[in-house]
Amino acid sequence: MGRLLGDHIVPTAIKVAVWAWVLFNLGLLAWVVMTSFKSTRDILLGPFALPTELHFENYATAWDTAGFGTATLTTLVFVAATLLIVMAISVPAAYGLARRMDRTASRLTTYFAMGLALPMQTVLIPYFVVNNNVGQFMIDWVTGWWDPRIGLIVFYAATATPWTVFVLTSFFRSLPASLEEAAQLDGAGPWLTFRKIMLPIARGPVTTVAIITAIGAWNETLLVLFLVPDGAMRTLPAALLNMYYGLQYTSNWGALFAGVVLLVGPIVVVFLWLGRRVIEGATLGANK
């Protein structure tokens, strides 16, 4: 009796905790949006009260002060280029590692798994030194110029690839080998089998990994601050941080909250649009 009661209480407690966390985050998001339309005086006098007047100019101030126009373009290019590199490497690599059973494939899988345990802070200084040296070499000997955002894209892609390879390798290993055997009987080679059969089956997990990778690139701040010294060339999170340093002396908290909404809003919209696909793709491999 006690065991049955415990089996009922534990799932209920987990559901209550999850819903409490969801409601807390929804309330926090609503508060940030509401505060973004308030004046600094209203924020200080009533941080949780409704705004007495809607100050839409907060968004214009945030956009102009932080240089969000250029930062948005930089962020979109950074996310797109990073996503292209990561997926172009991860998907074929994961499939190859999943289907090869020799010792080399096992070692490579272990190396990718080790990359998951490597904290970003441990590679910041090497990344910084390499990026500076490559930039100096390109300026002095090759093109005469160098954009540090190129190094940012390469290094972030290198940091994100171990996780994507590890996740997709697990999925490809869950697929039955009979699919490839049937394709071979029909005369399909390894590349055609991968492109026409295995890749369409893996569309859900690949989409999930791509979305999570894109969100991570959109939110990346630490690597941007280290590798891109020019504030005008930085991405949205770094631009928001620069705006915070500037607006804290003018105490324009409404504009600062508006900047937070401009940064977080697109991610929320994307997740509301593709959230179900992310969940379905994340659980698809377990159902094979």
pLDDT 10s digits, 274-284 = 766 666 655 55
What is the pLDDT averaged over residues 67-91?
92
Task: Tell whether 27 is covered by a domain.
Answer: no
In which domain, by residue range, is 117 found?
A: 56-287
Which pLDDT score is estimated for 217?
Answer: 93
Q: Give 155-207 pLDDT, tens digit per residue.
A: 999 889 988 998 888 888 888 877 777 877 777 777 888 888 888 888 888 88
CA dihedral 265, 268, 274, 279 (to 10 degrees): 160
50 within some domain: no
Higher pLDDT, 130 or 249: 130
Compute the average pLDDT of residues 239-259: 80
pLDDT at 50: 84
DSSP 3-state of 67: coil
- Give the confidence band of 272 by pLDDT, cuts at 50, 70, 90: confident
Q: Would the pLDDT of 85 be above 70?
A: yes
pLDDT tier at 81 (50, 70, 90 boundaries)? Answer: very high
Question: In the predicted model, what is the mean pLDDT of the chain?
Answer: 83
116 or 90: whose pLDDT is higher? 90
* Residue 164 within a domain: yes
Q: Are 70 and 82 in contact (CB under 8 A)?
A: no
> How far from each other are the two terminal CA atoms of the chain, in whole angstroms?
35
Q: Quick one: pLDDT at residue 77?
A: 94
Chain centroid to CA 267: how far? Answer: 10
Q: What span, in angstroms and rounded, lies between the C-alpha atoms of 211 and 216? A: 9
Q: Is the residue at 73 inside a domain?
A: yes
CATH number at residue 269: 1.10.3720.10
> What's the pLDDT at 286?
44
Q: Is the pLDDT of residue 287 over 50?
A: no
The arithmetic mean of pLDDT across residues 116-134, rounded, is 84
Count structural domains, the chain: 1
Whether 131 contacts 155, CB under 8 Å: yes
Q: Is residue 7 part of a domain?
A: no
Q: Is residue 10 part of a domain?
A: no
Statement: residue 124 has pLDDT above 90: no
Look at residue 282 in the predicted model and tell me its pLDDT: 58
Residue 51 lies in a domain: no
Q: pTM, whole model, 2 decimals?
A: 0.84
- Residue 2 covered by a domain: no
